Structures are given as structure tokens and as C-alpha cells.
């Protein structure tokens, strides 16, 4: 993410504002900016979602394909994350500029989803050691307005919740060979349970306080960030510090607490909205798509 130029007076203003719990747009230290969410935007993918968090815009598509399970988990399926920082987002991402950021985001997501209770990967296994579902989660960053990790995590969770995989049954045919049969009915599909999937909360340390959901200006004032992946019941599935500054152990503990609070609230609100969206499927659902 590009560093934007700021004067010293502006930085001081932002710093003092955060200390007083009144940020430059009136939010408190743990408030998110308004988020807009839509699922099922891409018809060719098994599941998709688009999230707009203030000026950040993220589009996620999930495609399921049949592949070989990984060696150390022969009975489980797997998820593969790929992030593409397109040059649409900011001219800095042209060519190979966005690669570092893309790698950071995809490895954080891989770490966050790597625990057995988040997503039931055993349900994605089909034949032990031979076939399993591989879910390719592809993330496209359309616009970069600060706080990308949070927006990406929300979009990934919504897209996975929206994913419909066709039902596969394993049969043995006359020659005693295993055969996979896909159901012909397009509506006969499995869904993925995302109740325990994590959301990422980025806590930026500015001065002596930390804030949630930093805007671009606030991000350029912060030297150090902690990203925490939190599930709805408060379990931390991954965490990572970032930035060239260092943190006090006590501040880390405070930040973990804030992250847990913000994360559980985010998860709850997201679940409620996803349910609301689900109910609308089948009735006249207006697809807003990409029109503003």
C-alpha cells in the first residue's frame, strides 16, 4: 500500500484525536466504517462475494475442482488462496509491485483457515488419498482504500458461505473400479459451513493507542500493526505483526483483547447479514452487481 504524504501537523492532529477516542471522521477507536456486501456476483464460480469497505473494494471467487489430497492429510480436502492485486487498485501495483502485499494476504489467510475447527475439510474428501475437493479461493483487489486484510477476510468468508458444490457419490461399477457420480440436478448441492470461519481484524498502533479499521491517512501514521484472525466464539486462529516498528508486550495483550471484541462483533453481524441474503435467494433478488 502506497505511503501517502502527510504534514507533521496532520499527523499530530490524528494522533491526538485517537488518544481522545475521536478520530478524524468521528469514529471511536474500535468502530468500523460502513461495509457493503453482496454474494453470488460471478455466475461461473461456485461461490463469490464482493465487499466494499469505505474505499476498499474486493471481489472473491471460489471454484471447486477435483484433485489429489495433500500428503499429510489424505482424507481431507484443501483450500488454496491466491490474491491478485490488480493495477486498477493503485498504479503502484502495476507489474510486480503488488506481489509482496499479495503474498502477505494469501499466507495470512492460509494460516487463518489452517485449523481443523474452522472449516470441516474432512467433508471435502472423496476417496482417501486419491480424490478430494480442492477449493481455489481467488481474491481480486479492485480498489485499495486502507485496511485490505479485513475486507478480504470478510469477502472470503461470504464467498465460502455462498459456495455450492455438486454432490458426488462414490460407486463401484461392474469391474470393481471406483467411479464418481455427479448429481445431474443443478440444485442438488452441498454448502460449506462457515459458522466457525475466522475474520481478520487489523489493529494499528498509533502513539499509545491502537485503532481498528484504519483509513489510509491513519495507516501512514502507524508504525506497527497486529493482524488477528478471530472466530465468532473468540478463538484466535492466526496472528501476525507487521510494519517496521516494535510493540510492548502489554500493548500486544490489549490489542488481542480489542481484536477479540471487534472480531466477535464483526462475525455476528456478518452471519446475520449472510442469513438475510440467503433468504432472498429464489425470490426476486435484485443483483446490483457493479453498478454504483
Pick between residue 100 and residue 188 the one whose CB is nearest to another protein.
100
Q: At closest approach, how far in Å is the CB of 278 from another protein?
A: 11
Burial class of 290 by CB neighbour count within 10 A (0 to 12, 13 to 18, 19+) = exposed
Report yes or no: 103 and 160 within 8 Å, Cβ to Cβ: no
C-alpha cell at 89: 487498485
Q: Is residue 22 a contact point for another protein (CB under 8 A)?
A: yes
Binding residues among 45-84 for another protein as defined by CB under 8 A: 50, 71-73, 75
Region binding another protein by CB under 8 A among candidate stretches 2-10, 140-148, 181-189, 200-208: 2-10
Q: Is the four-CA dihedral 127, 128, 131, 135 of positive or negative sign?
A: positive
Q: Which is nearer to another protein, 73 or 88 (CB)?
A: 73
Overall size of the chain counted in residues: 292
Q: How many CA atoms lie within 13 A of 224 on its CB side?
A: 15
Residue 95 within binding range of another protein, rule CB under 8 A = no
Binding to another protein (CB under 8 A) within 159-218 occurs at none
Cβ nearer to another protein, comparing 27 with 63: 27
Closest approach, Cβ 248 to another protein, in A, equals 6
Q: Which of 43, 44, 175, 292 binds another protein (CB under 8 A)?
A: 292
Near another protein by CB under 8 A: residue from 66, 67, 88, 273: 273
Q: Residues 2, 36, 65, 170: which binds another protein (CB under 8 A)?
A: 36
**Of 90 and 107, which CB lies nearer to another protein in the complex structure?**
107
Distance from C-alpha of 239 to C-alpha of 288, rounded to nearest angstrom? 35
Kindly identify the residues of this chain, within the stretch 108-127, that bind another protein according to CB under 8 A.
111-112, 114-117, 122
Contact between 90 and another protein by CB under 8 A: the answer reads no
Cβ-based burial of 146 (10 A; exposed 0-12, middle 13-18, buried ≥19): buried
Do the Cβ atoms of 66 and 126 come closer than 8 Å?
A: yes
| 43 lines the binding site for another protein (CB under 8 A) | no
Q: Which is nearer to another protein, 182 or 195 (CB)?
A: 195
| Minimum gap (Å) between residue 290 Cβ and another protein | 10
d(CA 281, CA 201): 29
Bridging pattern class, strands 35-39 and 47-53? antiparallel
Cα 80 to Cα 3, 63, 65, 83: the distances in Å are 30, 10, 11, 10
94 binds another protein (CB under 8 A): no
| Among residues 10, 92, 143, 190, the one that binds another protein under rule CB under 8 A | 10
237 φψ region: left (φ > 0), alpha (ψ -120 to 50), beta (else): alpha
Amino acid at each position: 500500500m502506497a505511503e501517502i504524504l502527510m504534514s507533521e501537523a496532520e499527523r499530530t492532529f490524528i494522533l491526538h484525536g485517537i488518544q481522545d477516542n475521536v478520530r478524524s471522521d468521528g469514529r471511536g477507536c474500535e468502530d468500523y466504517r460502513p461495509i457493503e456486501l453482496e454474494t453470488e456476483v460471478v455466475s461461473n464460480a461456485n461461490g463469490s462475494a464482493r465487499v466494499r469497505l469505505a474505499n476498499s473494494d474486493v471481489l472473491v471467487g471460489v471454484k471447486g475442482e477435483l484433485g489429489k489430497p495433500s500428503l499429510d492429510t489424505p482424507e481431507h480436502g484443501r483450500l488454496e488462496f491466491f490474491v491478485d492485486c490488480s493495477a486498477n487498485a493503485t498504479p503502484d501495483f502495476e507489474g510486480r509491485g503488488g506481489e509482496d502485499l499479495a503474498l502477505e494476504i494469501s499466507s495470512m489467510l492460509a494460516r487463518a483457515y489452517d485449523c481443523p475447527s474452522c472449516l470441516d475439510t474432512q467433508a471435502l474428501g472423496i476417496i482417501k488419498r486419491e480424490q478430494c475437493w480442492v477449493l481455489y479461493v481467488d481474491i481480486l483487489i479492485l480498489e485499495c482504500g486502507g485496511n485490505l486484510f479485513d475486507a478480504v477476510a470478510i469477502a472470503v468468508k461470504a464467498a465460502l458461505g455462498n459456495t455450492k458444490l455438486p454432490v458426488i457419490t462414490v460407486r463401484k461399477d461392474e469391474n470393481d473400479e471406483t467411479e464418481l457420480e455427479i448429481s445431474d440436478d443443478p440444485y442438488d448441492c452441498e454448502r460449506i459451513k462457515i459458522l466457525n470461519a475466522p475474520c481478520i481484524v487489523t489493529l494499528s498502533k498509533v502513539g499509545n493507542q491502537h485503532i481498528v479499521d484504519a483509513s489510509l491517512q491513519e495507516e501512514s501514521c502507524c508504525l506497527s500493526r497486529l493482524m488477528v484472525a478471530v472466530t465468532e466464539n473468540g478463538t484466535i486462529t492466526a496472528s501476525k505483526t507487521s510494519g517496521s516498528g516494535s510493540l510492548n508486550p502489554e500493548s500486544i495483550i490489549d490489542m488481542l483483547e480489542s481484536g477479540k471484541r471487534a472480531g466477535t462483533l464483526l462475525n455476528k453481524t456478518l452471519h446475520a447479514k449472510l442469513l438475510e441474503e440467503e433468504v432472498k435467494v429464489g425470490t426476486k433478488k435484485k443483483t446490483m452487481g457493479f453498478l454504483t
